[in-house]
Amino acid sequence: MCRLLGYVGVPLMLKKLLADPPHSLVVQSYQPREMTAGLLNADGFGIAWYDRGKSEQPFTYRSELPIWNDINLPSLQRYVVSDCFIAGIRSATPGQGVGLTNCPPYCYDRFSFIHNGFIENFRTTLYRPLRSLLEDEFYHLIHGSTDSEHIFALLMQFYRHEKDLINALSHTLDVILQLSHQYGVRSALNVIVSDGQSLVASRYASAEPIPSLYRLEMHESSIIASEPLWENDRWQSLAPNSTIVVSFPQKD
């Protein structure tokens, strides 16, 4: 079912959230607490981070290894410092290949995207209907076979026309939920998308149970995560079928 993480705020070493917390993404890969399907998240992982001093486009690291088994990550996550990043660990839907093209996050221009959820029987239900909605540029944005990458391509197409990320995400969710109802399949649509300035996140599903998603607001930063990274009564569960925006704190 995958697990997600998004951060925006004061510059932070990646390992402070990826590995150091007692219930970090590394721990959630082999001992998740709130997954509604599956037992492990061992089918790859990825990180997208921003350094606007070097580029508006995100930098990425993706691996088809389990996050606990990638020998490059401990060094990388101590080196990279960022004020905005997203990360995800993958539990592949049965029938979907394990490989880098199917590994999150997905990126286009300055945007990065991760998805926790599924479209039921995607290859035989919404695969062709979703692709039929895509203009050539966004059709060719898809390199793998996951429902996640198709959702991202549709989102980027709507953004191109609407120029508003929140509206584009809402439009994308509406289309997928309508198609899910039309084809009689379930869909779970927890996503985080970032432009390097903010995180836009959704907690949506066509039916119960809705995958978990939490938000933690701190003095100079915000975290969105599938599961709380540590014990703290300030973690707030996002309301079912809701979308939120988290941006850098406003300075006086």
Residue 18 CB burial class (10 angstroms; 0-12, 13-18, ≥19): buried
Quick check: is 161 in a domain? yes
Q: Choosing from 2, 84, 103, 107, which is the catalytic residue?
A: 2
Quick check: is 80 in a domain? yes
Host domain of residue 111 = 3-247
Contact 36/209 with Cβ under 8 angstroms?
A: yes
pLDDT in tens, 157-199: 999 999 999 999 999 999 999 999 999 999 999 999 999 999 9
Separation of alpha carbons 75 and 73, rounded Å: 5
What is the CATH number for 66?
A: 3.60.20.10
pLDDT in tens, 113-143: 999 999 999 999 999 999 999 999 999 999 9
Two tokens, residue 126? 């919404």
Separation of alpha carbons 196 and 8, rounded Å: 8
- pTM value? 0.94
Contact 53/72 with Cβ under 8 angstroms?
A: no
107 is catalytic: no
Quick check: is 194 in a domain? yes
Quick check: is 109 in a domain? yes
CA neighbor of 117 nearest in space, from 62, 60, 177: 177
Whether cis (ω within 30° of 0) applies to the bond prior to 105 is yes
